[in-house]
Amino acid sequence: MFKGLQTYLFKKKQILCPVIFNGYGTAVLLKVVAIVFGFTIWWLNHTPSLEGIWKDFHGSNDIIGTFCERLELEKPVRQPVNTFSSVVYLLVAVIILKKSWLEQKNNRNYNKTYLMLEFIFGFVLLYVFFASFFYHASLIKPALKIDYSAVYFFSLFPVLYFSGKWSLINNSKLLRISNKLLAIAFYSIYIIIALLLSFYTPKGKEHIVIFINILIFFSFTVAAVFAKPYKDNLNYLALSIVCIMVALVWFELDKYRVLCNPDSYFQPHSFWNLFIALSGFYFYVYIRSEGMKATIEIKMHSV
């Protein structure tokens, strides 16, 4: 009984903390990136010559009031805690891009369709990091537009993945068409839709669009679960959805000033960033597990 419990707990640990890299090199790299980013924020806010750099820009007053964190309007980084929490997107992007680069370098048999999707997702998270950092540091209207744009790219990516997977991997009829042409078509449609939402979503409707994208992601997840209910890697897909739900709770807590302490280092919006980044991480692990499975199947068929 005790051995069975140990096996169960070990499996749960592997799901919650999947082993992506061997050794401590990546862990050290991530810590260094976080420390350097934190020091950069401190340095910016303690450099007198940089004070007031945003004063000539129009602030997004309708959004500023939604955050709990106390504002430092004369500083170059107006919300230090929320700005620092953006680093989680950078850390996940580093994990994805480094692992994808190693797969490309060392494992030439790794499915290239999945590899390209992993690279794209890594760069999407880099964009989310830049947008979140820029917005919380400046709180100006152009930065808000970029921040919403990054959320659209992030929330639409699962649609690109599942639709692309169906067309490029599972549909034998479409496989007769050039994979490269189909891939270019899907990536182009994804970018165009995200850009259209970025520039043409009516003011005040941004959260509705994001919510619809999340519902579509949820629908794809339910379909995947019912299609193959016994696949272990669906746990990662489920965790990705759960993290999004938890992130939305923290967003609402911040919006309505629940558990709000303006001077605290623990801000509700920071937990929004944390759980959105975790959602992205688990979705990447799901994509990678699917890619590894596809690679193994190709090898078996070629034998």
All domains of the chain in start order, with CATH = 23-302 (1.20.1070)
pLDDT digits (tens, 9 = 90+) for 23-34: 788 899 999 999
Q: Are 233 and 184 in contact (CB under 8 A)?
A: no
Q: Are 83 and 136 in contact (CB under 8 A)?
A: yes
pLDDT digits (tens, 9 = 90+) for 114-157: 888 999 999 999 999 999 999 999 999 899 999 999 999 999 99
Place of tokens 């078509």: 185
Type of residue numbered 52: G
- Compute the distance between CA of residue 121 and CA of residue 150 in angstroms, rounded to an integer: 12
Per residue, the 3-state secondary structure of 231-256, as one string, reads CCCHHHHHHHHHHHHHHHHHHHHHHC
CA 64 and chain centroid, separation? 23
- Compute the distance between CA of residue 114 and CA of residue 141 in angstroms, rounded to an integer: 36
pLDDT band at 256 (very low <50, low <70, confident <90, very high): confident
Average pLDDT, the chain: 84
Type of residue numbered 93: A
Percent of the chain residues topping a pLDDT of 90: 50
Name residues whose C-beta falls within 8 Å of residue 286's C-beta, 6 or more positions apart in sequence.
233, 234, 236, 237, 240
- Compute the distance between CA of residue 221 and CA of residue 36 in angstroms, rounded to an integer: 37
CA torsion angle 132 62 149 247 (round to 10): 60
pTM of this prediction?
0.89
pLDDT digits (tens, 9 = 90+) for 183-207: 788 889 999 999 999 999 998 888 8
